[in-house]
Structure 1
Amino acid sequence: MKQPMSERAADWLVKIAAGGLVAMTAVIGWQVFGRFVLDSSPSWSEQTALVLMIWYVFLAAAAGVWERFHIRIELLERRFSRHGTRRLRIGIHVLIAVFGLIFAIYGAMLAWEVRIHVIPSLGISRLFAYLPIPFAGLLMTLFSIARIRVRLAEEHS
């Protein structure tokens, strides 16, 4: 059976985020090796690890909206009927969509403001470090809308 586009996108985001985690681990490993074995840490390693972490955290957070692997408290859900639980979950996804839009708008503004600043040890625009914020915000909004559509389809079936 063909996967929905949201599911495929979330799968790719998780894979890219996992790759970022592996890359960050390798960079930190190289930094530790350089510091304690070679007695000379590479100047680029700390900022590279930080940029990688920003990217993989935001990409994984966006995927988590679709995959539903974020922490949630089910105590409130258990107090509602099945219909009430669906309405609660739809309401939660509306809030997540709104927060995603806030990330998208204000993250884009932040990225634009810092575009002329350079990360000294990497020689790249700071825009690159903040770009995942609006991107992930947009994806969170789209994934939330898709989850709302799934919930509404369940309600009508």
Structure 2
Amino acid sequence: MKTLTDLIDKLLQLLLIVLSTTIVACVTWQVFARYVLQSPSSVTEELARFLLIWIGLFGAAYAYRMGSHLGLDILTNRMKPVNKRAADLFSNLTVLFFAAYVMVLGGISLVALTMDPSQISASLEIKMGYIYSAVPISGGLISLFAIEKIYMRLTQPINTAEC
């Protein structure tokens, strides 16, 4: 499982680099077209908005994998290792529940809702379901990463010397 998540991690890094580079290019073109050419581009404005959605969702999955999400550890830093482990397991189980139930199942419902009576974006004229597909995909990634963290935490021995 570790090799699979490491591969997904590398692909996620590459995807975020491509998305970030593309949004910078879009916004740069938008500013140039608006102020120099006096003709703003609605296509790049909409594309930048959609890219920001994808960067936010896939960036959240990547941040969770790296353990760099914002967190308050003032309470857990004072806990004994056994209690810290229980708090970490509870935290990761909560993330797993939210990602699987809200993001994956809710995201699939959202995609289906916007694909069936075909909701089309104004400028790019693509189905909004494709844009919203980032929700269940990133939820699936977060779920996978949560399962890995839970497994690693359960198989890791408790350091009883600190108890």
Corresponding residue of 1:6: 5
5 Å-filtered alignment, 1:8-157, equals 8-101=7-100, 102-115=102-115, 116-155=118-157
* Distance in 2 of aligned mates of 1:32 and 1:87: 50
Helix, strand or coil for the counterpart of 2:79?
Answer: coil
* Distance in 1 of aligned mates of 2:92 and 2:9: 16
Identity %: 25
Deviation at 1:107, TM superposition (A): 1.0
Deviation at 1:86, TM superposition (A): 1.2
- Letter matched to residue 83 of structure 2: G
- Letter matched to residue 90 of structure 1: L
Helix, strand or coil for the counterpart of 2:68?
Answer: coil
Q: Is the 8 A contact 1:10 1:67 kept in 2?
A: no
Instruction: Give the RMSD, CA atoms, in angstroms.
Output: 1.5
Q: Is the 8 A contact 1:14 1:59 kept in 2?
A: no
**Taking structure 2 as the reference length, what is the TM-score of the superposition?**
0.89
**Can you list the C-alpha shifts for 1:34-78, whole angstroms capped at 9, x where unaligned?**
000001011201110011111111111112222111011111111
- Letter matched to residue 108 of structure 1: I
Q: Is the 8 A contact 1:18 1:56 kept in 2?
A: no
**Can you list the C-alpha shifts for 1:119-153, whole angstroms capped at 9, x where unaligned?**
02001101111010011111111110110001111
Helix, strand or coil for the counterpart of 2:123?
Answer: coil
* Distance in 2 of aligned mates of 1:156 and 1:81: 10
Return 5+ residue gaps in structure 1 as ranges. Answer: none
Q: Is the 8 A contact 2:64 2:142 kept in 1?
A: yes
Q: Is the 8 A contact 1:11 1:63 kept in 2?
A: no
- Letter matched to residue 97 of structure 2: V
Q: Is the 8 A contact 1:7 1:66 kept in 2?
A: no
* Distance in 2 of aligned mates of 1:81 and 1:23: 46
Q: 27-36 or 105-114, which moves further after superposition?
A: 105-114
Structure 1 residues 7 and 76: CA distance shift in structure 2, 3 A: farther
